[in-house]
Amino acid sequence: MSQNPDKVLDHFTLFRSPEYVDMFENKKAFENAVPVADVQSAADWTKTREYRELNFAREALVVNPAKACQPLGAVFAALGFEGTLPFVHGSQGCVAYYRSHFSRHFKEPTSCVSSSMTEDAAVFGGLNNMVDGLANAYNLYKPKMIAVSTTCMAEVIGDDLNAFIKTAKDKGSVPAEFDVPFTHTPAFVGSHVTGYDNTMRSILEHFWDGKAGTEAPLVREVRDSINFIGGFDGYAVGNLREIKRLFTLMGVPHTILGDNSDVWDTPTDGRFRMYDGGTRLSDAAAAVHAKATISMQEFCTPKTLAYAAKKGHEVVAFNHPMGVAGTDRFLMEVARLTGRAIPEEITRERGRLVDAIADSSAHIHGKKFALYGDPDLTLGLTGFLLELGAEPVHILATNGTPEWQARVQALLDSSPFGRGCHAYPGRDLWHMRSLLFTEPVDFLIGNTYGKFLERDTGTPLIRIGFPIFDRHHHHRYPLWGYQGAMNALVKILDKIFDVTDADTMSPGKTDYSFDIIR
């Protein structure tokens, strides 16, 4: 017996004790286990060029994708508004999944309800679920707004949200004037970034265009303010606070559309806040009067931006700008749009980032990276890596399009460090596994699922992306702005130094390089 009441052993060490190791070995007799040698040769084969070609010839099977489905993004967008309860019309299991997924990343509660459609609703439609669901959600959770989206079940049977919500209001589920923006978010179209876009557009359309025909559309009077949309972003808590700080320093009148920074970062002080912060609904409505709308994630907001443009806004889209040049472009656009100067304090922050890069770039220069994630994040990261003199050899986005690929390629072509680097749209992490075996790199940048690639290929993982389940609190630190780039730089450097140390700590063999000064 290995268990010890003084120092309790849990799964990390308990199962390494001899009685368990023997037990595992004996169990194999009942498993029809593949002989060890055959497993080894198959494992070796998966590392080959031949396997890579078979792997890339896949047409139907998707293995370990780096994307999620539309309604996840819908819930994200809805939670960025004051007192808003996301309501997903369709099967209830989906909502359990979204809530778990966000809570595992942010380590925060995530409130969202489902209309809990079951087999009878699949036959007769989910009207009753909508009528009862809105009434229950309204009475129970006292939201200021309920933002409706759909699961694939409701989409396949073709439920008509507009008619259903009207009927629900007629039946008194919620007051007639209560805000219930809605949008269709089929899981079989696009990805979570598409769901974000659809929901953001639907909420703006609700306020700007007469609340589904119940009021007159707002008439735009151009004001000296800009709208800012962050997009689906695992770092929303840190990033949006950083953006607000920069805007305040610049004196920019602004509205953050979809401000998730407080709802996923509430204090532990004895009270559960189901709603906290978020874009005020009156501000969301007044945002129609803005002179311009900025999106930090172009591929996450195409319909939203097109809608803002239709309303007469100048729209400016970025691709998750990171680093010196990315932040420069962002701030200069903000300055141009608003006529506000970039203050000395921000210029000094820029200088500090350049200083840090100058101090450290010798350790990054020429290092090869593989990275994956959402289209805009991978573009932003690629720009930053090129700026650091690193080589972003494999850039992959499962929800990337040929247009994204062209955009990445243009970026790569703009730098000598981009030579021989490639973008892979629509590919998954099993493709990435083949890339890492056949064209190895020094580091991998990705979300938590990247740890499986790190295990299989030995490529050290730097965690930047969504979701991050196995490291805590990263979402509190921004990636945007010069300070955000500093955080990303430190994250990358820490991993590089950790790997260097681990690689030089063999006593009497390699530890001459186990330096205390690097």
Partner 1 sequence: MDLTLDEVKARNAEVISEALSVYPEKTAKKRAKHLNVYEGDKPDCGVKSNIKSVPGVMTIRGCAYAGSKGVVWGPIKDMVHISHGPVGCGQYSWAARRNYYIGVTGVDTFVTMQFTSDFQEKDIVFGGDKKLDKIVDEIQRLFPLNHGITIQSECPIGLIGDDIEAVAKKKSKEYDGKTIVPVRCEGFRGVSQSLGHHIANDAVRDWVFEKGSDKAPLFESTPYDVAIIGDYNIGGDAWSSRILLEEMGLRVIAQWSGDGSLAELENTPKAKLNILHCYRSMNYISRYMEEKFGIPWVEYNFFGPSKVAESLRAIASHFDDRIKEGAERVIAKYKPLMDAVIAKYRPRLEGKKVMLYVGGLRPRHVIGAYEDLGMEVIGTGYEFGHNDDYQRTTHYVKDGTLIYDDVTGYEFERFVDRLQPDLVGSGIKEKYVFQKMGVPFRQMHSWDYSGPYHGYDGFAIFARDMDMAINNPVWGLTKAPWNAGQ
Candidates 79, 81, 83, 114: give the one binding partner 1 (CB under 8 A). 114
Site for partner 1 in 484-513 (CB under 8 A): none
Site string for partner 1, 413-442 (x = CB under 8 A): -----------------x--x---------
Site for partner 1 in 166-225 (CB under 8 A): 186-189, 191
**Does position 330 bind partner 1 by CB under 8 A?**
no
Judge contact between 396 and 432, C-beta under 8 A.
Answer: yes
In the complex with partner 1, the residue whose CB is nearer, 128 or 500, is 128
DSSP characters over 269-333 = SS---SS---B-HHHHHHGGG-SEEEESBGGG-HHHHHHHHHTT-EEEE-BS--HHHHHHHHHHH
**Does position 163 bind partner 1 by CB under 8 A?**
no
Site for partner 1 in 30-69 (CB under 8 A): 30-34, 38-39, 42-43, 46, 51, 54-55, 58-65, 67-69
In the complex with partner 1, the residue whose CB is nearer, 262 or 333, is 262
Judge contact between 507 and 501, C-beta under 8 A.
Answer: no
**Does position 260 bind partner 1 by CB under 8 A?**
no
The least CB distance from residue 499 to partner 1, in Å, is 23
The least CB distance from residue 493 to partner 1, in Å, is 28
CA distance 298 to 230: 10
The least CB distance from residue 272 to partner 1, in Å, is 4
Candidates 74, 83, 84, 110: give the one binding partner 1 (CB under 8 A). 110
CA distance 393 to 378: 12
Site for partner 1 in 65-84 (CB under 8 A): 65, 67-72
CA distance 400 to 396: 8
In the complex with partner 1, the residue whose CB is nearer, 192 or 289, is 192
Q: How big is the chain by its Cα radius of gyration, in Å? A: 25
* Sequence letter at residue 454: E
Could you give phi then psi for residue 164, rounded to 5 degrees? -65, -45
Candidate ranges 126-134, 243-251, 360-368, 380-388; the one touching partner 1 (CB under 8 A): 126-134
In the complex with partner 1, the residue whose CB is nearer, 59 or 221, is 59
In the complex with partner 1, the residue whose CB is nearer, 135 or 335, is 135
Residue of 474, 432, 424, 425 lying closest to 449 (CA atoms): 432
**Does position 148 bind partner 1 by CB under 8 A?**
no
The least CB distance from residue 70 to partner 1, in Å, is 8
> In which element (H, E) is residue 423 found?
strand 422-425
The least CB distance from residue 445 to partner 1, in Å, is 19
Whether residue 5 has a cis bond before it, omega within 30° of 0: no
In the complex with partner 1, the residue whose CB is nearer, 418 or 450, is 450
Residue with tokens 């390629």: 409
Candidate ranges 111-119, 207-215, 378-386, 401-409; the one touching partner 1 (CB under 8 A): 111-119
Candidate ranges 236-244, 253-261, 263-271, 385-393; the one touching partner 1 (CB under 8 A): 263-271
The least CB distance from residue 138 to partner 1, in Å, is 8
Among 152, 300, 324, 334, which one carries the catalytic annotation?
A: 152
Q: What are the residues facing 463 on neighbouring strands?
A: 446
Structure tokens at 283: 């501000």
DSSP characters over 222-285 = --S-EEEE--S-TTHHHHHHHHHHHHHHHT--EEEES--TTTTS---SS---SS---B-HHHHH
In the complex with partner 1, the residue whose CB is nearer, 167 or 266, is 266
In the complex with partner 1, the residue whose CB is nearer, 15 or 514, is 15
The least CB distance from residue 284 to partner 1, in Å, is 23
In the complex with partner 1, the residue whose CB is nearer, 11 or 419, is 11
CA dihedral sign, ordered 190, 193, 196, 198: negative
Tell me whether residue 156 is one of the annotated catalytic residues. yes
**Does position 116 bind partner 1 by CB under 8 A?**
yes
User: How many residues at the interface with partner 1, by CB under 8 A?
Assistant: 110
> In which element (H, E) is residue 136 found?
helix 127-141
Candidate ranges 134-142, 209-217, 435-443, 474-482; the one touching partner 1 (CB under 8 A): 134-142
Site for partner 1 in 444-473 (CB under 8 A): 449, 452, 455-456
First to last CA, the chain: 46
Among 62, 156, 189, 499, which one carries the catalytic annotation?
A: 156
CA dihedral sign, ordered 73, 480, 106, 468: positive
Is residue 440 helix, strand or coil? Answer: coil
CA distance 115 to 492: 43
The least CB distance from residue 380 to partner 1, in Å, is 23
The least CB distance from residue 511 to partner 1, in Å, is 32
Candidates 167, 225, 266, 500: give the one binding partner 1 (CB under 8 A). 266
In the complex with partner 1, the residue whose CB is nearer, 9 or 362, is 9
Site string for partner 1, 352-371 (x = CB under 8 A): --------------------
DSSP characters over 11-53 = TTTGGGSHHHHHHHHHHGGGTTPPPHHHHHHHHHHTTSHHHHH
CA distance 398 to 408: 14
The least CB distance from residue 233 to partner 1, in Å, is 18
Residues recognised as catalytic: 152, 156
